[in-house]
Chains A and B, each alone.
Chain A
């Protein structure tokens, strides 16, 4: 047996980057379609969260597993974060019964967020269902940067939207005039948004988010496509369609993924997805290697 030095290795930069917090519930609002928005006082998480980050939440003391939840808004000054969730399983249903001032055990922020250095000046944000929150976070981030960029947010939902839609005051060239419903919060930030659904909701595009995105892209001069970059989060079929569209128009596209999680810190390899890398196929952890990936890596067949 060789002698090996048992050295004290330099600690990796990832140490102490995820904060455990006992977060009081500040607000808890119910919307149609079993949707809920919860605001939690979690100053460390709020201070360190970036668009794409999530928290891992003990939804209820009787359940063994935590639930990963995307952060929709983070207010570092006031020290709170906001989460939108749909009560569709036992865990989220129990969460929906929790009251103001109760404490929720969180660890966060977790994940490799959206890469945003030098993104193109026409960011197109596409969010479907419970995939909307990271897009709201990203939109707020883009607004804070106060540049001359021209973002557009397209949201899709098959249940009523978790906000009261209102006619947008911000004109978006290339979109049908009757598609006018937008999200008030985004309006307040002067970010244009449009809504889509297969249901017949007033002012919404009746169809897929990718149909509306295509209309918008086709209304531009082809050279302007070089200014567009896409960010998306939502159900897998939607993400596949977005990957297809962006491959067709040769646009950079980042997608945020979801999977069952146990540890959410990279320890169990339970959340992995197959991605295509330069060195061949790999199984990457959604919790720490993601949740944000390049669309071409996740959907290599698209386009």
Chain B
């Protein structure tokens, strides 16, 4: 009922653990009862060509129903990830997806080449990281640059490529179209929303990097709309979407699938409940049975919009 094909990869379930929330794939297995087999895939932490130490503390701040983070892409560099981290992963449990980052188009291509020559199952192109000075969201908010990055990665691999789109741009559907034309096999929608927290006593930002990316339930309505918008472009082309942003309760996962996501990402919710994925699976199965469906695919994009209103004002 939940097992599925995603770009030719076998996913145990439609859930994906999100980049930056689960280290390099093994960290959450510390928790008794947690299992990577509950999810279809695990996205590893954003990886650049050379090692990055990341930002100074504080890197985290809690906000109402949200979490601000500015880690600054701390990672040991792609060569070490391939040599030291991938051999520790149990590929019989789930699919593992690398998350690629860079400050130049050439760096993205080089990181892709390094992961192509590794057992990794697929690669997610992070053109939407808000927490680094160069590349990241600066590329992701410019459709031309997004397309150039995807094209450059495409020349280096035949493994599935997933462009991860930023919500911090005006026309996400157009950007999605450009990424698909440039060779992206799937899309991840959305990365974090840029934000800030201020300590009024110190008159300083709480986060060492000053600005940060917001995740968690606070961004879910934004994410749902973006998935719906991207699905209008990607659905007809059979390009699957990993919907994400604030999934916390099992119902949230269903909402993303109805909006058009083939798979659903879980990140920040793990911090509250490390065992949330097995709960989401069982509620999904119940839901499908209740609605006389035999497979989760039947639910994808099944949203029934209201008739268009005569008013053009959203208020």
With A5-B119, A6-B119, A7-B91 already in contact, the answer to whether A64 and B272 are too (CB < 8 A) is yes
A268's partner among B21, B91, B158, B217 (CB-CB below 8 A) is B21
CB distance from B217 to the nearest CB of A (A): 7
Chain B residues with CB below 8 A from A273, complex form: 57
CB-CB contacts below 8 Å: B252-286 with A: 268, 270-272, 274-275
By beta carbon, the residue of chain A nearest B56 is A274
CB-CB contacts below 8 Å: A40-94 with B: 44, 58, 63-66
A265's partner among B31, B159, B268 (CB-CB below 8 A) is B31
Chain A residues with CB below 8 A from B119, complex form: 4-6
By beta carbon, the residue of chain A nearest B65 is A64
With A20-B33, A64-B272 already in contact, the answer to whether A268 and B69 are too (CB < 8 A) is yes
CB distance from A28 to the nearest CB of B (A): 22
CB-CB contacts below 8 Å: A273-299 with B: 273-274, 281-283, 288
Chain B residues with CB below 8 A from A63, complex form: 62
Q: Is the CB of A12 within 8 A of B31?
A: no
Main secondary structure of the interface of B (DSSP, over half): loop
Determine whether B22 belongs to the interface, using a CB cutoff of 8 Å to chain A.
yes
By beta carbon, the residue of chain B nearest A61 is B272
Total interface residues in chain A, CB < 8 Å: 44
Determine whether B195 belongs to the interface, using a CB cutoff of 8 Å to chain A.
no
Binds A, one of B82-90, B101-109, B146-154: B82-90
Main secondary structure of the interface of A (DSSP, over half): loop
Chain B residues with CB below 8 A from A274, complex form: 53, 56
Chain A residues with CB below 8 A from B62, complex form: 63-65, 260
**Band of interface residues on B:** 35 or more
Q: How far is A16 from B275 in the complex, measured between Cα atoms in Å? A: 13
CB distance from A44 to the nearest CB of B (A): 8
Chain B residues with CB below 8 A from A272, complex form: 54, 57, 59, 74
Q: Is the CB of A1 within 8 A of B29?
A: no
Chain B residues with CB below 8 A from A263, complex form: 21, 27-28, 270-271, 274
Determine whether B145 belongs to the interface, using a CB cutoff of 8 Å to chain A.
no
| Shortest 7 CB-CB contacts between residues of A and residues of B | A4-B119, A6-B91, A267-B27, A270-B60, A266-B27, A8-B92, A260-B60
A residues neighboring B (CB under 8 Å): 1-2, 4-9, 11-12, 14-20, 44, 58, 63-66, 107, 259-274, 281-283, 288
Beyond A1-B159, A267-B27, A268-B23, 5 additional pairs, beta carbon < 8 A: A64-B271, A262-B60, A269-B45, A269-B54, A288-B30
